[in-house]
Amino acid sequence: MSDVYVVGVDMIKFGRFPDRTVPNIGAEAALMALDDCGLTIQDMQALYCGNLYESSAAVGQRVLREIGQTGIPVVNVANACATGATAFREGWMAIKAGVYDTVLCVGVEQMGKGLLGGGGGGGGISTEGLLGSGTMPSVFAHVGLEHSRKYGTTFEQFAKVSVKNHHHSTLNPKAMYQVETPLQEVMGAEMISYPNTKLMCSVNVDGSAAAVLMSEKKAKEKGLMSRAVRVRASAMASDPYTPRNFAMMDFNAVTRLAAKSAYEMAGLGPQDVNLVELHDCFATAELVHYENLGLCGEGKAGEFIDSGATTLGGKVPVNVSGGLLSKGHPLGATGIANIYEIATHLRGEAGARQVEGARIGLTHVVGAGSACAVHVLEKVS
């Protein structure tokens, strides 16, 4: 089977665009990705489009109305926070299967402001704040305090994730926010759900990202190998049964399953990875994923952030883009935006935030429900 390559990839600067439509926002990234590899919509054989909030409204077809209705098959994908990565993976799979040589994958989302989750069941009374809390900051506070329970991880260690990722964002012009946040400011910000303060929650923004995928044969034929990035592994998992499933959504076991599959497919281990974009929807989440992805030993995530290993210049920089915490988290776009970030480093085009000598990068997203996708990307040549 042919390897699959990312030949074109880009994202818009995330922000708030209440006067635009979802397809319009998606189309912008689609055109940027096409321009990145010098191709047109006429070169695309299929479109895989990830979007959550308008998932019943043919977003992919409406993107084509904005950039060219060529009649290609469109697959619309919704899969929680793994939506964009799932669209990317469907495109990868179609090429891997030999059905197409060239496909376009788009992730796009338009978000409101405010708390996500905690909706409760229909009818009767709302159970939010009555039977505990189901808001996302609370769900991920529970995730963090489970780690504290096991290993004594501190509020300060969780807060350091935000200090780091907000620092990284100052080097990324496409991040929603590019502001340094010292530790005292992060810890002193409004408490949302202990230990997550406001500065430890990701930003709800609008955004889009897109990638053009190609078979090796086609990429060579088109002369696109010099900036191409190889997809070394694409893996997904749903949450396996865990005894506390009913009360606590699982983000750990599902990540471990997907990571194991990805490392096996790539024939690599975590020690081979030069940089990671992982799902820091909340600061608490980033630390548990260090262990879930095997970046450090069990129970060592607190020490790992303390050591600076995951800061730009460290052993394995994590979320050099600024992460979801400062780049922003437009749900359907996030999975492809982190592919963009890794590809940019592997191409050596990341400017001030470039991870020097990066050859292998890993992306991770995990959505409530649960859905996890892990991709391993490799520099060509």
Partner 1 sequence: MAEAAAAAAPKPAVSFLKIPKDGAPYLEGVKCGACGEVFVGVDRTSCAACGARGKMETVKLADKGKLYNFTIVHRNFPGVPVPFVSAIVDLDGGGTLKGNLLDVNPVPDAIKFDMPVKVVIQDAGRKDKEGNSYLAYFFKPA
* Interface characters, 226-245, with partner 1 (x: CB under 8 A): ---------------x-xxx
Q: CA dihedral defined by 91, 94, 97, 99, rounded to 10 degrees?
A: -140
Backbone φ/ψ region at 351: left (φ over 0), alpha (ψ -120 to 50), beta: left
Residues 190-209 that bind partner 1 (CB under 8 A): 190-195, 198
- Binding partner 1 by CB under 8 A: which of 22, 27, 103, 141? 141
318, 275 Cβ separation under 8 angstroms: yes
CA 261 to chain centre: 18
Instruction: State the Cα angle at 310 between 334 and 352, rounded to 5°.
Output: 70
Closest to partner 1 by CB, 3 vs 128, is: 128
- Binding partner 1 by CB under 8 A: which of 38, 73, 112, 129? 129
- Binding partner 1 by CB under 8 A: which of 18, 42, 113, 149? 149
Q: Please name every residue paired with 191 in a beta bridge, in sequence order, or none if there are none.
A: 197
Alpha-carbon gap, residue 166 to 129, rounded angstroms: 30
162 φ, ψ (degrees, to nearest 5): -70, -40
- Binding partner 1 by CB under 8 A: which of 125, 271, 352, 381? 125
- Binding partner 1 by CB under 8 A: which of 135, 153, 169, 370? 135
* Interface characters, 174-193, with partner 1 (x: CB under 8 A): ----------------xxxx
213, 95 Cβ separation under 8 angstroms: yes
Strand 47-50 versus strand 74-77 pairing type: parallel
302 in contact with partner 1 (CB under 8 A): no
Span near partner 1 by CB under 8 A; candidates 29-37, 126-134, 253-261, 322-330: 126-134
132 in contact with partner 1 (CB under 8 A): yes
Residues 101-120 that bind partner 1 (CB under 8 A): 115, 118
Span near partner 1 by CB under 8 A; candidates 133-141, 212-220, 272-280, 318-326: 133-141
Nearest to 117 by CA among 108, 126, 109, 125: 126
Closest to partner 1 by CB, 71 vs 121, is: 121
- Binding partner 1 by CB under 8 A: which of 71, 124, 223, 357? 124
156 in contact with partner 1 (CB under 8 A): no
Closest separation in Å from C-beta 131 to partner 1: 5
292 in contact with partner 1 (CB under 8 A): no
Strand 207-215 versus strand 4-11 pairing type: antiparallel
Residues forming the active site: 81, 329
Closest to partner 1 by CB, 124 vs 223, is: 124
Span near partner 1 by CB under 8 A; candidates 84-92, 145-153, 349-357, 370-378: 145-153
Please tell me the number of Cα atoms within 13 Å of 176 on its side-chain side: 21
Q: CA dihedral defined by 243, 247, 252, 254, rounded to 10 degrees?
A: 70
258, 237 Cβ separation under 8 angstroms: yes
Nearest to 211 by CA among 2, 369, 367, 363: 363
Alpha-carbon gap, residue 48 to 83, rounded angstroms: 11
Closest to partner 1 by CB, 91 vs 134, is: 134
Interface residues with partner 1 (CB under 8 A) are: 115, 118, 121, 123-135, 137-138, 141-142, 145-146, 149, 155, 190-195, 198, 241, 243-248
